[in-house]
């Protein structure tokens, strides 16, 4: 259990004259300018040190606040914090809050524990950041519940910010019953932040209908965050048409969409292959002067690539004012998947020669995919070796799967099987399925049997292994064995998921399932197909 709180202890404020001097100090004033970057800071800080004011609590906290801000440098902020002789409450809260927003939120929790053993004890503004850190970690909600217990003992549960972050922590960790219990305690207040956390929590756990029910029955005014949460929830649960419909409802309500909304919609269009919808979203972004940051540009490129409009994707990439690594990765993968493998490899070479960026693990997935489609086995091997030796990137299961694809497509099935068996990580059903798919192409029944057996063992409820093995036998004219695989699939109560396709026609997206009859024009479609006098025209 966490130790109990003791009385607060803070450094006494400096004399008014010193406070006035520090408030007007030009170097400290520059740190409050929104346009000041970390590069500017490195030029300003030596002047601050020369003045000798860094030992003053006001000056040191001002410097810490800048370094801990999104435009600063969290590692530098931590170094500054550790050099403070007696950090005050504001300094503790600043560094904990900063780490709670990073990809390493566990450091926020570690600092909180250190704070408990220091002279300065947590106060109500400290706790929301710690709960946010637990929410980011997701699977560590047990310790978060201990902190919740501490808050109850201290009587701080009625604080709105603390209450909302507790709900967010439980909901983001998948503990929906606990989140709902805390949510119901103050539902009468109609706090929109609490509603947003529950909507996102239900969506994350796949309970999208519960999300929509809560969204429709909200007792408070929906904000743009509420709409974004519901739209992104639909996208996460592959309810893509519903996501687009909700956006149109959002426009009817005259709610201003954000960049987050645009990214969610672009992802929906990418999954659906809805090019016209995607173009409309892209035009909407341009018309309304949204900031073309790296996240938005990457989503636009990805949408065009997945919709097969690779020329539009290249145009967006080339006109992008700030190309982040994700932009490079998206266009490289897009080129590789759209039959432009040589261009993907050329672009990867440009990325390698870039002075500002260097390839990461995703970049290598893109170039290895290009090698697979191009049949460039030697190039694929060279890139795989370069990734490990030159870039010190440890191959993941995805990289090994790419290499198995490269070897398998070229018919080097024994080498591919040997690579899988020699992996330092445990093979999964996907990589064995990849080898099995290559065996089907090249008609190697013996290796196919071994690969299929591993697929059955690792994922017994997946029908793909049985279907692929059946196709391997059929390709070798062993039709009895092919039928045996189909019967075996039925005996094990394993069902193949029906194929799904979509088509965009006159701005409307239509989805179809293999053998399905749920489309609102099913009767007309089947009538048309059965009409022998009807002919399709180009």
DSSP H or E run through 75: helix 74-82
Q: Distance between CA atoms of 154 and 156, rounded to whole angstroms?
A: 6
Instruction: pLDDT band for 2, please (50, 70, 90 cuts).
Output: very low
The DSSP bridge partners found for residue 513 are 500
- Least-confidence region, from 47-51, 140-144, 461-465, 490-494: 490-494
Locus of tokens 């994707």:
313
Calculate mean pLDDT across residues 162-180. 90
The SS3 call for residue 515 is coil
For 293-316, what is each residue's pLDDT tens digit? 999 999 999 999 999 999 999 999
For 101-151, what is each residue's pLDDT tens digit? 888 899 999 999 999 999 999 999 999 999 999 998 876 667 888 899 999
The whole-number pLDDT of residue 301 equals 97
For 207-263, what is each residue's pLDDT tens digit? 999 999 999 988 788 888 999 999 999 988 888 888 889 998 998 988 888 899 999
Mean pLDDT of all residues belonging to the chain? 82
Q: Tell which residue, 62, 117, 118, has the closest CA to residue 91.
A: 62
The whole-number pLDDT of residue 31 equals 64
Q: Decide: 486 and 473 in contact? Cβ < 8 Å.
A: no
The DSSP bridge partners found for residue 505 are 508
Calculate mean pLDDT across residues 508-514. 57
Q: Distance between CA atoms of 164 and 197, rounded to whole angstroms?
A: 8
Q: How many CB atoms lie within 10 A of CB 374?
A: 18
Q: Decide: 125 and 101 in contact? Cβ < 8 Å.
A: no
- Least-confidence region, from 36-40, 339-343, 494-498: 494-498
Is pLDDT at 459 greater than 50 in this prediction? yes
Q: Tell which residue, 69, 78, 82, 81, has the closest CA to residue 38.
A: 69
Q: Decide: 238 and 203 in contact? Cβ < 8 Å.
A: no
The whole-number pLDDT of residue 534 equals 53
Q: Distance between CA atoms of 391 and 385, rounded to whole angstroms?
A: 9
Q: Decide: 324 and 294 in contact? Cβ < 8 Å.
A: yes
CA contacts within 13 A on the Cβ side of 184: 6
Ordered DSSP codes for 18-66: HHHHHHT-HHHHHHT-TT--HHHHHHHHHHHHHHTGGGSHHHHHHHHHH
The two tokens of residue 110 are 């570690």
Q: Distance between CA atoms of 361 and 167, rounded to whole angstroms?
A: 35
Domain with CATH 1.25.40.10 in the chain: 408-497
Q: Distance between CA atoms of 184 and 370, rounded to whole angstroms?
A: 52
Calculate mean pLDDT across residues 491-500. 53
- The angle at the Cα of 259, spanning 257 to 263, to the nearest 5 degrees, equals 105
For 5-40, what is each residue's pLDDT tens digit? 333 334 455 544 444 444 555 566 666 666 666 676
Q: Tell which residue, 253, 251, 308, 314, has the closest CA to residue 284.
A: 251
Q: How many CB atoms lie within 10 A of CB 83?
A: 10
Instruction: pLDDT band for 538, please (50, 70, 90 cuts).
Output: very low
Q: Distance between CA atoms of 308 and 75, rounded to whole angstroms?
A: 42
Q: Distance between CA atoms of 198 and 234, rounded to whole angstroms?
A: 14
Q: Is domain 408-497 in CATH 1.25.40.10, yes or no?
A: yes
Sign of the CA dihedral 51, 53, 58, 63? positive
- Least-confidence region, from 5-14, 83-92, 366-375: 5-14
Q: What is the DSSP letter of 256?
A: P
CA contacts within 13 A on the Cβ side of 526: 11
Q: Distance between CA atoms of 536 and 538, rounded to whole angstroms?
A: 7
Reduced 3-state DSSP string for 317-355:
HHHCCCCCHHHHHHHHHHHHHCCCHHHHHHHHHHHHCCC
The SS3 call for residue 317 is helix
What is the value of pTM for the model shown? Answer: 0.71
DSSP H or E run through 456: helix 445-458
Q: Distance between CA atoms of 320 and 293, rounded to whole angstroms?
A: 9
């Amino acid at each position: 259990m966490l130790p109990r709180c003791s009385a607060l202890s803070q450094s006494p404020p400096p004399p008014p004259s010193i406070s006035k001097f520090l408030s007007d100090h030009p170097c400290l004033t520059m740190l409050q300018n929104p346009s000041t970057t970390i590069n500017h800071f490195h030029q300003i800080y030596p002047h601050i040190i020369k003045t000798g004011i860094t030992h003053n609590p006001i000056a040191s906290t001002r410097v810490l606040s800048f370094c801990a801000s999104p435009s600063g440098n969290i590692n530098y902020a931590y170094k500054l914090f550790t050099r403070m002789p007696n950090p005050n409450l504001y300094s503790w809260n600043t560094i904990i809050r900063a780490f709670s927003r990073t990809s390493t939120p566990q450091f926020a929790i570690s600092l909180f524990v250190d704070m408990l053993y220091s002279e300065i004890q947590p106060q109500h503004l400290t706790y929301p950041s710690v709960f946010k850190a637990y929410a980011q970690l997701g699977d560590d909600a047990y310790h978060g519940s201990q902190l919740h217990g501490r808050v109850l003992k201290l009587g701080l549960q009625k604080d709105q910010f603390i209450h909302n972050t507790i709900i967010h922590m439980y909901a983001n960790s998948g503990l929906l019953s606990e989140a709902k219990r805390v949510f119901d305690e103050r539902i009468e207040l109609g706090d929109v932040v609490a509603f947003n956390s529950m909507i996102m929590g239900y969506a994350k756990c796949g309970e999208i209908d519960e999300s929509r029910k809560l969204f429709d029955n909200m007792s408070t005014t929906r904000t743009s965050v509420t709409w974004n949460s519901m739209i992104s929830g639909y996208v996460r649960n592959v309810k893509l048409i519903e996501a687009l419909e909700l956006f149109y409802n959002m426009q009817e309500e005259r709610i201003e969409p954000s960049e987050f909304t645009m990214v969610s919609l672009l992802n929906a269009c990418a999954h659906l292959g809805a090019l016209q919808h995607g173009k409309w979203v892209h035009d909407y972004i341009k018309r309304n002067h949204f900031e073309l940051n790296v996240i938005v540009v990457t989503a636009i490129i990805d949408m065009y690539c997945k919709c097969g409009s690779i020329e539009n994707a290249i145009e967006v990439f080339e006109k992008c004012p700030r190309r982040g690594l994700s932009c490079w990765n998206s266009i490289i993968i897009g080129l590789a998947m759209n039959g432009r493998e040589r261009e993907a490899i050329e672009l990867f070479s440009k990325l390698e020669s870039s002075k500002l960026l260097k390839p990461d693990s995703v970049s290598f997935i893109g170039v290895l995919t290009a090698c697979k489609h191009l049949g460039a086995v030697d190039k694929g091997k060279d890139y795989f070796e370069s990734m490990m030796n030159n870039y010190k990137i440890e191959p993941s299961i995805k990289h090994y799967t790419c290499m198995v694809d490269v070897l398998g497509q070229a018919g080097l099935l024994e080498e591919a099987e040997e690579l899988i068996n020699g992996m330092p990580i445990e093979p999964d059903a996907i990589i064995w399925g990849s080898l099995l798919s290559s065996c089907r192409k090249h008609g190697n029944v013996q290796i196919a049997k071994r690969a299929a057996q591993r697929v059955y063992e690792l994922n017994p409820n997946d029908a793909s292994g049985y279907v692929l093995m059946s196709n391997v036998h059929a390709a070798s004219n062993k039709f009895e064995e092919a039928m045996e695989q189909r019967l075996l699939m039925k005996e094990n109560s394993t069902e193949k998921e029906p194929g799904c396709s979509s088509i965009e026609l006159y701005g409307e997206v239509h989805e179809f399932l293999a053998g399905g009859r749920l489309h609102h024009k099913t009767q007309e479609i089947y009538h048309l197909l059965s009409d022998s006098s009807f002919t399709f025209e180009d």
